[in-house]
Amino acid sequence: MTESPRIAVLGAGNMGGALIAGMLRSGFAKPGQLTATVRSPEKAAALSDSYGIRALPGRNLDAVENADLVIAAVKPHLMSGLLEEIRWGLREGRILVSIAAAFPIALIEQHIGRPFPVFRAMPNTPAVVGEGVTAIAGNSHARQEHWALVEPAFRSVGAVCYLDEDQFHAVTALSGAGPAYVYMVIEAMTAAGLKVGLSRDVAARLAEQTVLGAAKLVRDSGTHPAILRDRVVTPGGVTIAGLHELERHGLRAMFMTAVEAATAHSRQLSGKLNDLARPAE
Ligand SMILES: NC(=O)c1ccc[n+]([C@@H]2O[C@H](COP(=O)([O-])OP(=O)(O)OC[C@H]3O[C@@H](n4cnc5c(N)ncnc54)[C@H](OP(=O)(O)O)[C@@H]3O)[C@@H](O)[C@H]2O)c1
């Protein structure tokens, strides 16, 4: 496998764009190695201007012809059309990674119609700042040399874990969607600061840095969050008064039901995409 892989990101929107930004930021890829596609010419021009990369409106097959690693990053309902467009460009020596939520590997293989290394990855948007997390699964044609390219590409934008594809609904619900939950927590903590009289700027800074610092401490210390939480609590003190309210309103149950609902939704979406792909009787 080449040392400077050429990478095509098909559908460089929020997530595809985050991967491009992250791979450039980490030095994993130089602008000359990257090609992006979007639909609109204006967005293609904006991507070229921002990152100095080659960006094309449509023309996915052109992008694939110049790539070793192809990352499909369009919305799930557009995946079938994209795969039909690029399938003949997926030749020996190339690898396809799909980041589309709920779009199973079996369906991708069905579109390609011949043995080909296919990966499914579920990244998240903190990839922009090199703090993403990506779950990866490969199909039966994914060999060591393919993993050797896919894994560092995603590791360059954060942490990586390997999972069976049947766990992807849960991953999508927890870490794929997760940044949105955390942004809501930061927003809520900022509002809480305003409620008790802090200025907007101070409240926002305290909230964001507290979330960042707490997450970093959990990761770097390897200590269970319950133990770290306990270290903040003084008997009869301020923290336990706040925690009591969070318990009373069911914070943990709320997160559990939220992730459960999102997992169920991903499963449902997958069923619909499978139905659409099934030829009419
Ligand atoms: N957003 C996340 O946090 C996240 C996390 C993990 C996985 N994902 C997955 O990533 C995928 C993209 O999500 P997103 O949030 O990034 O959506 P998005 O912001 O709407 O990006 C999709 C991009 O695809 C482009 N596009 C649509 N049809 C195309 C085509 N035929 N050829 C080339 N480009 C095309 C669009 O171009 P225009 O802008 O010109 O219309 C847009 O830039 C989804 O499958 C989602 O499940 C997203």
Per-residue pLDDT tens for 110-141?
Answer: 999 999 999 999 999 999 999 999 999 999 99
CA of 233 to the centre of ligand 1 (A): 43
Which pLDDT belongs to residue 2?
Answer: 62
Per-residue pLDDT reduced to its tens digit, 240-266: 999 999 999 999 999 999 999 999 999
Which pLDDT belongs to residue 31?
Answer: 98
Which pLDDT belongs to residue 177?
Answer: 98
Which pLDDT belongs to residue 275?
Answer: 80
Neighbouring CB atoms inside 10 A of 202's CB total 13
Q: Hey, what are 133's tokens?
A: 């997390």
CA of 100 to the centre of ligand 1 (A): 8
Residue 99 Cβ contacting ligand 1 at under 6 Å: yes
CA of 13 to the centre of ligand 1 (A): 5
Residue 57 DSSP code:
E
Report how far residue 101's alpha carbon sits from residue 10's, in angstroms, rounded to the nearest whole number.
Answer: 15
Percent of the chain surpassing pLDDT 70: 98
Q: pTM of the full predicted structure?
A: 0.95
Per-residue pLDDT reduced to its tens digit, 188-234: 999 999 999 999 999 999 999 999 999 999 999 999 999 999 999 99
Residue 152 Cβ contacting ligand 1 at under 6 Å: no
Q: Which residue has the tokens 């602008």?
A: 31
**In the chain, what are the domains?**
7-163 (3.40.50.720), 178-249 (1.10.3730.10)
Tell me what the mean pLDDT of segment 70-99 comes to: 97
Which pLDDT belongs to residue 272?
Answer: 86
Residue 122 Cβ contacting ligand 1 at under 6 Å: yes
Residue 125 Cβ contacting ligand 1 at under 6 Å: yes
Residue 118 Cβ contacting ligand 1 at under 6 Å: no
Q: Are strands 34-38 and 54-57 parallel, antiparallel or unpaired?
A: parallel
Helices (H), 52-177: 60-65, 79-86, 105-112, 144-155, 168-171
Q: Tell me which of 9, 10, 14, 182 to substitute to probe ligand 1's pocket, judged by most ligand atoms within 8 Å of the beta carbon.
A: 14
Tell me what the mean pLDDT of segment 170-176 comes to: 98
Residue 132 Cβ contacting ligand 1 at under 6 Å: no
Q: Is 216 exposed, middle or buried (0-12, 13-18, 19+ CB in 10 A)?
A: exposed
